[in-house]
């Protein structure tokens, strides 16, 4: 397993890593609770077992992915996260004979928000700068990772990125709406930038928290109701993701997106579950 290269960390990145470590530490002991969610996510990427290289964005503790199963399906598995400690520990849990297939990229900010949000909060950004941001960040991260991938997994990262925006800007900030949409487009552009010509990506995200008594309901039925009512976390709203792809010239030309069924519940405790779904993004024929 390749070791990440040490480098100077700016104060914003150090603070972001500290927050991510705290979040990862809070869920480190919940691996058993994630069992059904982990099985669903693992099956998504294992279904592409003919692929040679997988990239996992926001890998963290890897509680939502069975790395031993994944290592049977892929020649290389690249784990990307801000929290080097968590992702390195996750890779170390893999059986010794498969550990050499894993490459850790950490600490790495896949969103560009760590550096950007303090400037945006101070209104030190132009409209042109916001418009350039998604492609600039996507290409920079893709360059750091150094290759394209047959399969890319975004595992419940999107809402974490939105939480960063809320924490720093607050939802009353003048740039909040623009920053949220820019964050979404940046993440979608990154998935596009990382995909090999015949690759596919899975964007897995929670849409809404539900009370324990609601969890026995069919998750796909509840997802449909949330879509119809416009409920749930705005950045993870399926029609918004689809519209963002369709309205963006670069993505619309090269990416085909589909919300997969069925949805499922991601259980995070006795009283907390999330309605969760996956969107599959694949290359349009003839695009690369």
Asked, for residue 88, whether it belongs to a domain, the answer is yes
Q: What value does the mean pLDDT of the chain take?
A: 89
- Cα angle 262, 246, 197; round to 5: 80
Given pLDDT bands bounded at 50, 70 and 90, which one contains residue 283? confident
Segment (H or E) for 189:
helix 176-194
- Of 28-37, 49-58, 88-97, 143-152, the least confident: 28-37
Q: What integer pLDDT is reported at residue 5 of this predicted model?
A: 44
Report DSSP state, residue 82: S
CA 165, CA 121: separation in Å to the nearest integer?
10
- Of 51-55, 123-127, 157-161, 203-207, the least confident: 51-55
How many domains would you assign to the chain? 1
Asked, for residue 51, whether it belongs to a domain, the answer is yes
Asked, for residue 1, whether it belongs to a domain, the answer is no
List pLDDT tens digits, range 201-214. Answer: 999 999 999 886 66
Q: Which residues, in sequence order, are bridge partners of residue 105?
A: 80
Q: How many residues in total does the chain contain?
A: 288
For residue 221, the domain's CATH number is 3.40.50.150
Has this prediction a pTM greater than 0.85?
yes
Asked, for residue 197, whether it belongs to a domain, the answer is yes
Given pLDDT bands bounded at 50, 70 and 90, which one contains residue 129? very high
Asked, for residue 4, whether it belongs to a domain, the answer is no
Question: Which tokens in the block code for residue 58?
Answer: 């926001």
Q: Catalogue the E-assigned strands of the chain.
A: 53-57, 76-80, 102-105, 149-155, 195-210, 255-269, 272-283
Asked, for residue 279, whether it belongs to a domain, the answer is yes
Asked, for residue 103, whether it belongs to a domain, the answer is yes
Structural domain harbouring 214: 11-283
């Amino acid at each position: 397993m390749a070791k990440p290269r040490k480098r100077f960390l700016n104060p914003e990145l150090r603070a972001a890593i500290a927050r991510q470590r705290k979040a990862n530490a809070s869920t480190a002991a919940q691996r058993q609770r994630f069992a059904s969610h982990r099985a669903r996510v693992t099956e998504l990427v294992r279904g592409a077992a003919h692929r040679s290289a997988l990239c996992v964005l926001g890998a963290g503790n890897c509680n939502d992915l069975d790395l031993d199963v994944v290592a049977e399906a892929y020649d290389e598995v690249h784990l990307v996260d801000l929290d080097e400690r968590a992702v390195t520990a996750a890779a170390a849990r893999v059986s010794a004979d498969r550990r050499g297939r894993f490459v850790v990229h950490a600490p790495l900010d896949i969103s560009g928000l760590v550096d950007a949000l303090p400037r945006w909060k101070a209104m030190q950004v132009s409209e042109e700068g916001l418009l350039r941001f998604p492609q600039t960040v996507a290409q920079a991260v893709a360059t750091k990772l150094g290759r394209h991938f047959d399969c890319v997994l975004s595992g419940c990262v999107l809402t974490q990125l939105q939480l960063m925006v809320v924490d720093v800007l607050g939802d009353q900030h003048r740039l909040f709406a623009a920053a949220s949409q820019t964050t979404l487009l940046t993440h979608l552009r990154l998935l596009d930038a990382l995909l090999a010509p015949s690759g596919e990506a899975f964007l897995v995200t929670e849409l809404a928290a539900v009370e324990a008594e609601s969890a026995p309901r069919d998750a796909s039925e509840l997802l449909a109701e949330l879509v119809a009512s416009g409920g749930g976390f705005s950045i993870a709203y399926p029609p918004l993701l689809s519209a963002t792809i369709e309205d963006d010239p670069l993505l619309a030309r090269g990416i085909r997106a589909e919300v997969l069924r069925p949805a499922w519940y991601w259980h995070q405790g006795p009283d907390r579950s999330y309605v969760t779904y996956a969107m599959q993004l694949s290359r349009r024929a003839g695009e690369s």
